[in-house]
Every structure is written in structure tokens, then in C-alpha cells.
Amino acid sequence: MSAITATGLTKRYGAKAAVDDASFTIEQGEIVGFLGPNGAGKTTTLRMLAGLVRPSSGTCTVLGAPVPGGTLREVGTMIEEPSFYPYMTGRSNLRHAALLHGDVPPRRVDEVLEFVSLQDAADKKVRAYSQGMRQRLALARALLWRPKVMLLDEPTNGLDPAGIAEVRESLRSVAAQGVTVLVSSHILAEIEKLVNRILAIEAGRIVFDGSLRELVERMGAPTVTYTVTARDQAGLLAALAELGYAPTPRGEDGADVTVPDEEADLLLGRLAERGVRVTSATQRGEDLEGAYLRLIDPRRRPS
Amino acid sequence: MSALVATVRAETFKLLRKRRVYVLAFLYWVVLPAIGLIVGRLLYTNLREFEREGLPVNDLLQSLFSAHGLATVALTGPAYMSPTPYIIAVVLLAALFIGEERGQNMWKTVLVVQPDRPAVLTGKLVVAMGALLALMLGAFLSAILFGTVGMSFLPTDLSGDWLGLLGLYLWQWAHLLAPVLLAFLLIFLVRSAVLGIVMVLLLPGLIEGLYTVLNTLFNLQPLTRFNAIFQALRLQRVWEAAPRYFFTTNLYAPGRTPAREIANELLETTVQPQDLGPLQMVLGTTTSLGHAAAVMAGYVLVFGLLLYWLFRRRDVD
């Protein structure tokens, strides 16, 4: 039994299709990244899977049962901005959700608070929470009833790097327990570190469904990014600019520069010709961001 | 655990964490009967001199400021205010259970945690009606308490038709289901607690006021092209019967019932009339309880069906 299936899922608002004939299947235990630019239809798709929005046509199932249906009680969600009753404490908000669900033992509230490291702030009113704390509390709420499927929309939105790392670790730990996770994010580096499969949506249509490696292979790798350091950073930046590149300073002695694939081997030689004494150079392979940008923007693809 | 029971438990949990509920209870349970006792005491002091002229001061105090009197006033008094405390309590509860979910963007959470939408709506209604029942029964009990205290400085006792009065409390409470459904419906429909509350407070009165204006226009003499059409359609009788089906007229029928008895009691001993005549129109006590119950059942059916249909179908954006 698949964890999630969507078959011809379509949502129209008037003449505009927010989601257009989306079909995909997610097996149990998979962690799938859901990518797409703003307005592509990610949130609408997640809302349909969560039973909040009725599809105009098509169907979806969660854990084998049609949505909306009883299996939604096995789903944990974070959709868009986390919302709470601000006059209640974090703990009270979780207790309310636990009571509403009906099958959550009372001690579970403390367990999830501890899991997201919020036990010290649990008795503060939510209106006093920072964005990061709200995000973590929302994750705690989504985990309350030990869901088998999680639908997460931008779960790291508004978090600082430490918070992002915490959420990432939390999600990894959840996924290790066999929970199926469909997670959308704008922070591609995060998705890259978390997921083993990508679903990409553009203008309401699923434009890619496969592994990260398949995405990179399909989009090709026309550029290579170097991190170069030299004793004279100003000289390094000037030489790179002279060669027609757009370097970004890194630290006090380095620069990041992206060069066409065919010029990659020549870069260091050209710098040496201009008297730049390179102390180190690290070449990074094609990353998700590059492949993704070319997926949604054909002008970036190699001709 | 059933979805309905889970919702009732969760919404009760939420209700008990809302300060406005305690403020409302304090006003209804403490402030109103306390004011009643103070007024009773002032009247007792100042009306003594009228006793010689035949004013039945003790009867008046027993009718209004005894335990039974205070409990009667707690039921009847609010039905004559504008807006009535009943409606204020209803809209505050509707704002809490429906408006707040929208205002705090909580529907997306509530309806994922508990996807059984009819159960969620029913649970919210059950808790709202339960809160109203607690408020009303609390007022009933606190009136007894304050009335008993009042016996120490007022010539009153505990006599009265207690069961009949309790029945009217429950009858009035049952009638409040219609405005609760209306408030839930309007707040959900317009997607704004504030706008929904304003509509609940103003709409029934507005419709009834409009009727009065139109009624005057239609009955203008001589006949004009305007009212002639209306009269030719033979809708006159229907039109004249319409006020009997008005929302507010029927909604407060149980609460206003004791007003007739109080007026009768007072007038009987001071003036002659047994029949209150036009005063009944002023008191709004011409509607029988059976008729009012049937009309309110109709409103409950219409508002309830619309609300459930809308609640089941609407997307959560």
C-alpha cells in the first residue's frame, strides 16, 4: 500500500488551474522533496492531500484510503505559517490538539515538547514565542499522534541556521522511524540534505519526479563552481573579473566563481598567467540548485 | 474515542482558557443580581411613604427582589435589553468557536487534526450550548443565593413557582440554538468574526424595522400604483401575519412570559384591569410558547442545514 497517491489531481480557481492533472505515488518510508517556485501549486497540492481543499477533479489517497477520510488522522501537517491560539501556552495548544485528535496519551505532549527542545518554554503563552519557536511547536504538534505520513510546507521558514539544522535533524529522526515525509522548501540546500526523491511542480504541473541524481543528470551540468583562495584576494577578484566571470568574495582570501564546464580545467592556468598565486582550489560538482533552476527555466539549460 | 466526544473535550478545554467567559459569568452571576439587591434596598427605603396610598410595596419587592423575583428578572430583564445579553453571549461564543479559527488561521490545523467536519461543527455547537446553559443555570442559582441574602434586609421570602420558572429558563435556552446557528453561519459565511457579529446583532432588527417601514408604505391611503399592486396580489393577510414569525419576537417568548405575570400581579392590586390589552404588545408577550417553539424550530432547521452544507463543502484557504 502506497503512503500517498495522486491521480489526475486538479484544482481550478475560476479559469486558472492552481494544480493541473498532478499524478504521483509516494511509497511508505520515503522522504520526498516538493519543489517549485512561488505560486507553482505546492501548497494547494498539500492542502488537497490534507483534505482541506476539495479537488476540482482527480483523486488522492493517503495510506490507501480516499481523502478526505479517516486515514487523515494518521497524517501530521505543517502547512504554511504555523498557527496557534495565542492566549494559550505552548503546552495548552498541544493539549488542545491532543484532545481534539482523541487518541493521544497525555504524556505524549511532554515527549514531543522535549523532542523539539521546547520543554523550557512550554508554559509561556504562544504570543511570546519567536518565529523559530512557533515553527518547532508546529512540528511538535504534527508529531503528537505519531503520524505515519507527514505533509510539511516550508518547515524551516523563518528559522536561523541553528534552527534549520535542528528541524533537519528532527525530520531525519522522524524519517528513520519509517514515517513518510513530503516536504516542500525554498531552501534547496536543505532539501538536498534531507530527501531521497524530488517532485517538482511548475505552473500546477508535475515537471519532474525522480531522484536527485536523476534530476542532475537530466538537466546536465554545464557549470562548475570553484572556491579559490589566494594570498591577494583583491588580485584574485580582479583577475577573475578580467577573465569575464562574476566572482563572489569568500572570507578574507577567497572567492567563489562559477565557470562553464568546458573552461573549468583552464581556470587555474589562466589565473597563474595573470600572476595570481592560488593557495587552494575546491571544485564543487553540480548541485540541486543549479539543476533545479534549469528545470524550471529552460533558458538556463544547455543548448 | 468518537470524533464528537474528542471535539467536545477539546473545545471545552479551549473555552475554559478564555478570559471573556469568566467576565461574562461574573456579570451575569454576580453583578446583575447584586445590582438587583441594591435597587431593591433603595426602593424599600424610598417607597415606604407610598404604601399608605395603596402601593403594594411588599408585593412589588417580592415580585422583583425576592429569590424567585431575582431569578425571574435574570431571565426576563435581558430579553428587553438591546442588544440582549443573550445575543451578546451568543456572539461572543460564536466568535470564539468559529471566528477565532478563521482569525487565528486555525481551521487548517483543526480540520487536519480532526477531519470529521460534521463532528467538529456539532462538537462546537454542543460546547457553545453547554456554555449558555451553564451561564443561565448559574444565573438561576446565583439569584437564589442573592435573594436568600436579601431576605435579611428585605421583606421577601423563598416562595414562588420554582419549577415553572426553571422550565422557562430551559425553554429560553433551547430557543438560543437558533441564534447560535445563525451566528456560526454568518461568521463562517463572511469569513470575519467582527462582520459576522455585527450582522447577527443588526440583521434581525434591520429586517423587522424594514417591515415596519414597508408596512406603513403599503397601507398608505389613497391607493397608489405602488400599494395597489401589493394589495391586488392579495398578500395583505400574509403580510400582516409576518410579524408573528419574526426572529426576535419568537426568540424571547419564554424569557418575556413572566413579564405578563408580573404586570398582571402589580396592576391587579393598584388599578383594575385583569386584561392587559395593548400593554401586551408593548411587553411582546402576545406570542404563545408553542407557536414560538415551532417558529424557532423552523429557523434552527434552515440555519442548521445551511451551516452544515457550507461547513462540509468549503475549502480551507
Residue B73 to chain A, least CA–CA distance (Å): 35
Contact A154, A185 (CB under 8 A): yes
| Partner-chain contact B114 A50, CB within 8 Å | no
| Separate counts of helices (H) and strands (E) for chain A | 10, 14
C-alpha cell at B115: 477531519
Cis previous bond, B222, omega within 30 = yes
Q: How many CA within 13 A on the CB side of residue B56?
A: 15
Mean pLDDT check: name the lowest of A66-80, A114-128, B48-62, B214-228: B214-228
Residues A203-251 pLDDT 10s: 899 988 988 778 777 766 566 778 888 888 888 999 888 888 888 888 8
Distance CA B303, CA B297 (A): 10
Looking at the structure of chain B, the number of domains it has is 1
Distance CA B138, CA B182 (A): 24
Contact B24, B89 (CB under 8 A): yes
Residues B69-85 pLDDT 10s: 999 999 998 888 878 88
C-alpha cell at B281: 404588545
Residue A298 to chain B, least CA–CA distance (Å): 32
Which of A72-76, A298-302, B296-300 is the most confident on average? B296-300
Fold designation for A223-285: Alpha-Beta Plaits (3.30.70)
What sign has the CA pseudo-torsion B207, B210, B216, B218? negative
B230 or B211, which is more confident: B211
Banded model confidence at residue B174, pLDDT cuts 50, 70, 90: very high
Percent of chain A whose pLDDT exceeds 90: 37
Residues B39-49 pLDDT 10s: 988 888 887 77
Residues A73-130 pLDDT 10s: 889 999 888 899 999 999 999 999 999 999 899 899 999 999 888 999 999 999 999 8
Residue B273: what pLDDT?
46
CATH class name, domain A4-83+143-216: alpha beta
Task: Find chain B residues with C-beta within 8 A of A52's C-beta.
Answer: 107-108, 111-112, 315-316
Mean of the pLDDT values across residues B268-294?
67
Residue A47 above 70 pLDDT? Answer: yes
| The overall pTM is greater than 0.90 | no
Contact A77, A151 (CB under 8 A): yes
Contact B36, B115 (CB under 8 A): no
Residue B238 above 80 pLDDT? Answer: no
Mean pLDDT check: name the lowest of A127-136, B169-178, B199-208: B199-208
Q: How many CA within 13 A on the CB side of residue A250?
A: 16
| Partner-chain contact A97 B109, CB within 8 Å | yes
Residue A59: what pLDDT?
93
**Average model confidence (pLDDT) for chain B?**
85
Task: Find chain B residues with C-beta within 8 A of A100's C-beta.
Answer: 6-7, 9-10, 110, 113-114
Per the structure, the complete domain to which residue B120 belongs is given by 2-313
Residue B269: what pLDDT?
53
Pick the closest to residue A101 from A70, A126, A79, A137 (CA basis).
Answer: A70
Residue A303: what pLDDT?
47
- Rounded to two decimals, the ipTM of the complex is 0.81
Domain range annotation of chain A: 4-83+143-216, 223-285
